[in-house]
Amino acid sequence: MVNRVNFGVFLPFYAFSFKETNPQALFNRVQATVAECESLGYHSVWLDDHLMFGNTPILECWTTITALSQLTTKIRLGTMVLCASFRNPALLAKMAATLDVLSNGRLELGIGAGVQKEEHLAYGFFFPEARTRIERLEETVAIIKQLWTEEKASFKGKHYEIKEAVCEPKPVQKPHPPITIGGSGEKLTLKVTARYADRCDFGYLPTIALYKHKIQVLATHCHAIGRDPNEIGLSCWPGGQVLVANNEEALSQAVLAHKPKNISQKDFENLNLIGTPDVCLKKLQPYLDSGFSHFMLFFGDLPCLDGLRLFAESVMKKLR
């Protein structure tokens, strides 16, 4: 596990789509945000994988990061997380290998079992019970890793099958692009994480105690299959959202502007990473002490870039 502290910026569709209705303007805003993240030295940007949200314009995740790969040079490009049901596993392996080549080895593959029933059914995808979706996720990751690393890959599972499939060219990253498995289900999902993941992502959890508990559960699953849990990088969300400002007055204004009406200010502050740069540094320390090396950040003031810039200049640089 790499101990260097990295910061990834989460760019979900709802950070942009409610601000823009013109499709090209929507992509231009995403591109400008990613370019700013790259110039500020963020480790990675991560797009979510959704197909619809009512009538709201949403850009498809994979196509978008492919375009971004040609408009950036350094920042890593991640999916948080791809829905395993949306793409055939072997085809996804080929798509991902191609993107890793096109980006010169900057792909971060995040993948999960999928949770949104409505969009599955709307687009004609089968939406079985959670156990079956997680079985499909496990087979998907197994197929992807085989195609990325073997000359010819064959696999026969309960849900998927490939026969002497060739994936050339292979990804640039060796032995393969890092795989992050999203989810925190202790009986099923974390077993898949223990077997296949290079990094875990439990999603947002409201306390450090809950994160520590999930780490212990993951370690137990690793020991059961003979894997060193230290091989799996630890990722966390230090808050559902991040709001940072130089002083208390500006911070109060930011909270007032972004706090939903149906939540108290106390609960809003407890659920999110809110503070001046010095306060944010103090709040991040328990996660660093617990071994987390990758932080996922969703800036609540997006598409405004002020918070993203201040965090990079006043928090991220000090921790590095």
DSSP string, 84-147: GGGS-HHHHHHHHHHHHHHTTS-EEEEEE----HHHHHHTT-----HHHHHHHHHHHHHHHHHH
Give the CATH number, domain containing residue 192.
3.20.20.30
Residue 87 has pLDDT above 70, yes or no: yes
Establish if 194 belongs to a structural domain. Answer: yes
Cα separations in angstroms, 231 against 74, 269, 312? 25, 34, 28
Q: Model pTM?
A: 0.95
Establish if 1 belongs to a structural domain. Answer: no
Mean pLDDT across 19-35: 90
CA distance 170 to 93: 10
Q: Nearest CA to 47 among 23, 16, 1? A: 16
Lookup: tokens for 2: 């790499």
Lookup: tokens for 196: 């296949």
Does residue 181 contact residue 197 with C-beta atoms inside 8 Å? yes
Decide the pairing of beta strands 294-297 and 233-236. Answer: parallel
SS3 state of residue 50: coil
Q: For residue 319, what is the DSSP state?
A: H
Establish if 81 belongs to a structural domain. Answer: yes
Instruction: Indicate the number of domains in the chain.
Output: 1
Establish if 86 belongs to a structural domain. Answer: yes
Task: Give the model confidence (pLDDT) of 95-151 as tens digits.
Answer: 999 999 999 999 999 999 999 999 999 999 999 999 999 999 999 999 999 999 999
CA distance 4 to 265: 34
CA distance 22 to 10: 22
Residue 250 has pLDDT above 80, yes or no: yes
Task: Give the model confidence (pLDDT) of 155-164 as tens digits.
Answer: 999 999 999 9
Cα separations in angstroms, 313 against 34, 100, 104, 273? 16, 29, 27, 17
Task: Give the model confidence (pLDDT) of 183-197 as tens digits.
Answer: 999 999 999 999 999
Look-up of token digits 């197994």: 142
The dihedral through the CA atoms of 107, 111, 117, 120 has a sign that is positive
Establish if 48 belongs to a structural domain. Answer: yes
Q: Residue 2: what pLDDT?
A: 44
Establish if 72 belongs to a structural domain. Answer: yes
Cα separations in angstroms, 249 against 43, 185, 244? 30, 40, 11
Alpha helices by DSSP H, the chain: 23-40, 61-69, 89-102, 117-122, 130-149, 189-196, 208-224, 248-258, 265-271, 277-289, 306-311, 317-319
Q: How confident is the model at residue 3 (pLDDT cuts 50, 70, 90)?
A: low
User: What is the span of the domain harbouring residue 37?
Assistant: 6-319
SS3 state of residue 272: coil
Q: Residue 176: what pLDDT?
A: 98
Q: How confident is the model at residue 311 (pLDDT cuts 50, 70, 90)?
A: very high
